[in-house]
Amino acid sequence: MEKLLLEMRGITKVFPGVKALKDVNLAVPQGEIRGLIGENGAGKSTLMNVLMGIYKAEQGELFLDGEKIEISSPAEAIAKGIGMVPQELNLNPYVSVAENIFLGNEIKNKFGMINWEKTKKEAVKVMNIIGLNIDPSDIVYRLSTAQQQLIQLSRVLATGAKLLIFDEPTASLTTQETEVLLKLMKKLQVQGKTIVFITHHLEELLAVTDRITIMRDGQVVYEDDTVNMNESLLIEHMAGKKVVKTERAIRELKPDILLKIENFSREKEFSEVSFEVRKGEIFGIGGLVGSGRTELISAIFGITKKSTGQIYIDGKEVEIKNPTQAISLGMGFVPEERRNHGIFPMLSVRENMVISSLNEIFNGLFLKKEKARSVTNSYIEKIRIKTPSTETQIKSLSGGNQQKVILARWLARESKILFLDEPTRGIDVNAKSEIYSLIHQLTKEGMTVIIVSSEHEELLLLADRIMVMHEGRVKGIEDAAKMKQQDILEIALK
């Protein structure tokens, strides 16, 4: 028998109105990479948070290396060799790499002062484990997201963790960066680490894990060695039913141009971008991370200033100096960093869905409560938002369900032109399909959508045409129906 490193037995965790975990068992042998998957709200993060001592389970037992343990705080989990690389970066951007790696775990001299020389030396040692070649004195905000994530991983390794939990670590990485991270997991496995890997990307799980555990509604519903798994099996067990794979819809578009962008430029971000979008069209913008896509749509929407060029709506030139003007012209915008820019954590699901800014609350513009409740309920159903009620505080929803609420906020406003930046990041595969059909339906009813996505598959499935950008320039605009996945990269790099 393989030696178990981790065993969670009969874990039950209740939140007000939700039984988040029901008698969950998870046993992970030493040295294994275990995949953990399930729809948004299935209980994956809660289970890991119990292990990290962030939540206390009502029932259940934990064993590490065969020994029964109690964990009542993250510090205790870390002291026992358990570390979590969280979904959201939580580094201090204004201090050095070395300080970040040893944050909360400072190396001190005999006088209790931080020993900087040793901190830097040790930081380099830890970074070497994962082949990260960064100056330990560099300030973190200058690094790319991928590098920051590796610093976060280094911080966990610096604690001497033997069990590493990766909670959706690839959500904001490019395909190449993801590959690097997956290879790194394999490398850490060879070095004797045990890994629990949570992701919504099935292909990543199938590529890197030894065994996969599937959760649904707070329970483990299926588990098998990865060699016996495939994508449709995973999807089926996650949903608890047969799921029909989304196909490209056949769509007919009218020729009327709704939005025209001409010679749009913003220093250092993008230059001389011109394109036209038809009424009811889904216009995809693809390219590598850092190609200027987010910057472009942020400038069109008036979030960033000092761009040059012209914007026409229905043939008429318009000026957009700020988002309020954009909204009054019938535009909507779902930002990439929803958790920083999009959510009012203390407010309810209903309030989060029906307001687009706090101004609207103050100005009394928001919908009447009853109407709002019914709109909210209809979206809860349409894209299956998992929440005890419309009045639940949004912060108590799972990450993916919070994303769905913010997306629904803009879908519900039925803007004339909706900008979506990475709309399905963190959203499970089945919910993605539901969101795609909703977007299709809304565009049939006349809405126009401009979508930035790093998931090429998503653009190919959803968009009518795809504009590929690279280093701030348009490299091509093509009919999506005629494109294959690799075309986007090829056009970007040609």
The residue ranges that bind ligand ATP (CB under 6 A) are 15, 18, 20, 38, 40-46, 386, 396-401, 428
Rank residues 115 and 219 by Cβ distance to ligand ATP and give the closer one.
219
Contacts of 409 (CB under 8 A, 6+ apart): 334, 342, 352, 353, 354, 355, 356
Rank residues 218 and 292 by Cβ distance to ligand ATP and give the closer one.
218
Instruction: Give residue number: closest CB to ligand ATP.
Output: 400
CB of 20 to ligand ATP, least distance (A): 3
In the chain, what's the furthest Cα-to-Cα distance?
Answer: 75
The answer to whether 90 and 152 are in contact (CB under 8 A) is: yes
CB of 90 to ligand ATP, least distance (A): 16
Rank residues 398 and 430 by Cβ distance to ligand ATP and give the closer one.
398
CB of 45 to ligand ATP, least distance (A): 3
- As a whole number of Å, the end-to-end CA separation of the chain is 53
- Cα–Cα distances in angstroms (integers) from residue 116 to residues 91, 101, 126, 130, 435, in the given order: 18, 12, 15, 22, 50
Rank residues 115 and 393 by Cβ distance to ligand ATP and give the closer one.
393
The answer to whether 372 and 354 are in contact (CB under 8 A) is: yes
Rank residues 390 and 443 by Cβ distance to ligand ATP and give the closer one.
390
Contacts of 42 (CB under 8 A, 6+ apart): 215, 216, 217, 218, 238, 398
Rank residues 44 and 432 by Cβ distance to ligand ATP and give the closer one.
44
Rank residues 386 and 416 by Cβ distance to ligand ATP and give the closer one.
386
CB of 254 to ligand ATP, least distance (A): 37
Contacts of 320 (CB under 8 A, 6+ apart): 300, 301, 302, 311, 326, 329, 331
CB of 257 to ligand ATP, least distance (A): 38
CB of 198 to ligand ATP, least distance (A): 7
Nearest to 211 by CA among 193, 229, 199: 229
CB of 392 to ligand ATP, least distance (A): 8
**How far apart are the C-alpha atoms of 262 and 273, rounded to whole Å?**
6
**How far apart are the C-alpha atoms of 259 and 313, rounded to whole Å?**
5
The answer to whether 40 and 399 are in contact (CB under 8 A) is: yes
Alpha-helical segments (H) within 266-367: 293-300, 323-328, 338-341, 349-354, 358-362
Rank residues 44 and 237 by Cβ distance to ligand ATP and give the closer one.
44
CB of 129 to ligand ATP, least distance (A): 28
- DSSP readout, 138-203? SBGGGS-HHHHHHHHHHHHHHTT-SEEEEESTTTT--HHHHHHHHHHHHHHHHTT-EEEEE-S-HH
CB of 276 to ligand ATP, least distance (A): 37
DSSP state at residue 114: B
Rank residues 123 and 334 by Cβ distance to ligand ATP and give the closer one.
334
Beta strand 59-64 with 33-38: parallel, antiparallel or unpaired?
Answer: unpaired
Rank residues 38 and 332 by Cβ distance to ligand ATP and give the closer one.
38
CB of 485 to ligand ATP, least distance (A): 25
